[in-house]
Homo-oligomer: A and B are copies of this chain.
Amino acid sequence: MSGPTHIDDSDPDSQPVMVPPEPDEDLDFPLVELFFFAYRDFIADADGMLEEYGFGRAHHRVLHFVNRRPGMVVAELLDILRITKQSLGPVLRQLVESGHLVQIAGPEDRRQRLLYPTQKGRNLSIQLTHMQSRRIKGAIEGIKNKDRESIRDFLFGMIEPEERDLVDGLMAQDQ
């Protein structure tokens, strides 16, 4: 008569929903999905190059921010990356051992470890940023009013408001 008794056909919530979600101005599927795919390809560039060194994305991020602000202390790095020192530990050690970074005791506070890239680290970081910048440049050239400011403001607007000061501070060095 009805289906097998071990499946509860009478529970409406266990029935398949056959239709796609209805269009809704509060559901921006295209941009949500484009953002996902765009970011995936944005980091895929770097992944390939990092693999040659046995590095992952964590190494990339550390390398990037230390290069961007040479002399950064460990605590600042943890704050930017929002990870724990336990998970930073091995990554930092590998980057030092491979000769991409060096740690120098703070001149005033000798408990601090100031992080600097070596020339080797600088070179790799620049190379990675260059790849990513080229992709961004290409994407901007493809839009009708090639308005870099709008893209910048859009991305900034995506950031959690409380975080924006931190990001602003990081970028204060470029005019």
Contacts and interface: CB of A to CB of B under 8 A. Distances in A.
Give the one of A117, A157, A167 with max B CB within 10 A. A157
Interface residues of A, number: 85
A32 B143 contact: no
Contacts of A19: 70
A148 B32 CA distance: 12
A156 B135 CA distance: 11
Contact of A69 (B20, B26, B32, B61): B20
A133 B26 contact: yes
Interface of A: 12-21, 23, 26-42, 44, 61, 64, 67-71, 82, 99, 102, 104, 116-122, 125-126, 129-130, 132-145, 147-160, 163, 167, 170-171, 173-174
B30 A102 contact: no
B152 A142 contact: no
